[in-house]
């Protein structure tokens, strides 16, 4: 089914469009540079049939040669060995500087594909085609690319904005409800830090909000992308504003680490947002009603709100280590009100613990 797509523009030094709609996958061809003769489509095993279809379509509509690189899904795809496999495929195909990479998959796949594009011959064109909610509203937009090392997540990477991002909502129809809802945590985040209309839509009908067939779902996705586009268009390299995207992520990342990355990102971020809201309240910034709104909305979606009470020392140690490896002080994004994010720098440990007691169980 094809309908009228929405185009969101990302500004900055290397502007590009994010196209959202049904049946927009065909736009890849036009998004690739005209000089491109070879295209590497990086995809996970679950999308191998769709990637083969994409290759047929691209080869039929242009004189381009399309190579497929199937990589492991999720975090196990974000390894240097996997990047080396893609470099080998490119090297053997005489991939030149005018050729291009397409990232076709969830957030981990687009992160890896972006890193491969950023590093091959010091950078070739990249088109991102995210196939999950999380990928569409977060990972594929904003130019962050990278891989993990034994020491931590995303420690190696580059800012490498894509030429285009194509969000074909048809691709979400086969996603499991769990995966869709977990990805929706980042949409909820966009509601709390930027566009409260998202929160209104969820409260009005939480079932429709996460149903890809509903107009409410599409509107939520578009608003979340619009928010990300505005933030990264202004601050690609996270020198300031982009940090607001970390709402719920300081504790969320520590929970993901404690769970050995077996949890879905959105589940950890949901707890992290609940924590950030409690921290905002205890710091005298956010009202009780706004904190209750967090609880109500996350609960409506079936996202988790609490974590093991006894885990605090471990979580705090992880947050401290993360802070050290990134060379800064412990910082949290908190809210002065809905849609008014700000930074809380070096908060007292007793305040941090008090906020955790509100969500520990
Ligand atoms: N996912 C956070 C960022 O793109 O900055």
Tell whether the model's pLDDT for residue 263 goes beyond 70.
yes
- pLDDT tens-digit map of 65-79: 999 999 999 999 999
Q: What is the pLDDT of residue 60?
A: 87
Structure tokens at 32: 């690739």
Tell whether the model's pLDDT for residue 1 goes beyond 80.
no
The neighbour count for residue 323, using CB atoms within 10 Å, is 15
Q: How far is the CA of 142 from the centre of ligand 1 (A)?
A: 7
Residue 266, ligand 1, Cβ within 6 A: no
Note the helical H segments in the chain: 28-31, 48-61, 80-92, 107-119, 133-134, 177-193, 197-204, 206-209, 215-234, 249-258, 265-282, 288-300, 312-325, 349-359
Q: How far is the CA of 245 from the centre of ligand 1 (A)?
A: 6
Tell whether the model's pLDDT for residue 322 goes beyond 90.
no
The answer to whether 6-172 and 177-359 have equal CATH topology is: no
- Please, are residues 298 and 266 in contact by the beta-carbon 8 Å criterion? no
265 in catalytic set = yes
- Set 180, 246, 293, 294: catalytic member: 246
Residue 249, ligand 1, Cβ within 6 A: no
DSSP 93: T
- pLDDT tens-digit map of 149-193: 988 889 999 999 999 999 999 999 989 999 999 999 999 999 999
Q: How far is the CA of 61 from the centre of ligand 1 (A)?
A: 34
Please tell me the CATH superfamily of domain 177-359, with its number. Dehydroquinate synthase-like - alpha domain (1.20.1090.10)
- Please, are residues 231 and 244 in contact by the beta-carbon 8 Å criterion? yes
The neighbour count for residue 189, using CB atoms within 10 Å, is 30
308 in catalytic set = no
Residue 236, ligand 1, Cβ within 6 A: no
Q: Whose CA is nearest to atom 2 of ligand 1?
A: 245
Report the predicted TM-score, pTM, of the whole model to 2 decimal places.
Answer: 0.96
Q: How much is the average pLDDT of 225-233?
A: 97
Q: How much is the average pLDDT of 10-27?
A: 96
CB proximity list for 77: less than 8 A, separation 6 or greater: 44, 71, 108, 109, 112
- Set 22, 265, 293, 294: catalytic member: 265
Q: Starting at the edge strand that comes first in sequence, how are the strands of the sheet with 38-43 ordered? A: 6-10, 16-21, 164-168, 125-130, 100-105, 38-43, 65-70
State the average pLDDT for the chain. Answer: 95
CB proximity list for 329: less than 8 A, separation 6 or greater: 323, 345, 346
Domain ranges of the chain: 6-172, 177-359
Q: What is the pLDDT of residue 45?
A: 97
- Set 78, 180, 186, 264: catalytic member: 186
- Set 22, 38, 228, 293: catalytic member: 228
What is the third-level CATH fold of 6-172?
A: Rossmann fold (3.40.50)
């Amino acid at each position: 089914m094809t309908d009228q797509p929405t185009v969101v523009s990302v500004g900055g030094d290397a502007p590009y469009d994010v196209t959202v709609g049904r049946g927009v996958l065909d736009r890849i061809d036009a998004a690739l540079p005209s000089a491109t003769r070879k295209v590497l489509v990086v995809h996970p095993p679950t999308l191998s049939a769709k990637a083969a279809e994409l290759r047929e379509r691209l080869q039929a509509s242009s004189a381009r040669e399309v190579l497929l690189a199937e990589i492991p899904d999720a975090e196990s795809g974000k390894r240097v060995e996997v990047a080396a496999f893609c470099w080998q495929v490119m090297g053997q195909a005489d991939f030149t500087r005018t050729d291009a990479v397409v990232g076709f998959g969830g957030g981990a796949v687009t992160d890896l594909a972006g890193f491969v594009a950023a590093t091959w011959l010091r950078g070739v064109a990249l088109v991102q085609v995210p196939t999950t909610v999380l990928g569409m509203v977060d990972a594929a937009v904003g130019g962050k690319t990278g891989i993990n090392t034994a020491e931590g997540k995303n420690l190696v990477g580059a800012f490498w904005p894509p030429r285009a991002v194509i969000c074909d909502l048809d691709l979400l129809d086969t996603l499991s409800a769990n995966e869709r809802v977990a990805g929706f945590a980042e949409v909820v985040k966009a509601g709390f830090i930027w566009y409260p209309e998202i929160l209104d839509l969820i409260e009005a009908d939480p079932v429709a909000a996460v149903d890809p067939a509903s107009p409410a779902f599409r509107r939520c996705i578009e608003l979340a992308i619009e928010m990300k586009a505005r933030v990264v268009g202004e601050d690609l390299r996270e020198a300031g504003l982009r940090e607001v995207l970390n709402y719920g992520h300081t504790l969320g990342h520590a929970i993901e680490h404690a769970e050995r990355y077996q949890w879905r990102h959105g589940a950890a971020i949901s707890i992290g947002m609940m924590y950030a809201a409690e921290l905002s309240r205890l710091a005298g910034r956010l009202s009780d009603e706004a904190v209750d709104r967090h609880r109500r909305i996350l609960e409506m979606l079936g996202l988790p709100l609490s974590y093991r009470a006894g885990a605090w020392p471990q979580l705090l140690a992880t947050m401290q280590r993360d802070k050290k490896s990134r060379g800064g002080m412990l910082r949290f994004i908190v809210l002065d009100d809905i849609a008014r994010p700000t930074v809380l720098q070096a908060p007292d440990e007793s305040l941090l613990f008090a906020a955790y007691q509100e969500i520990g169980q």
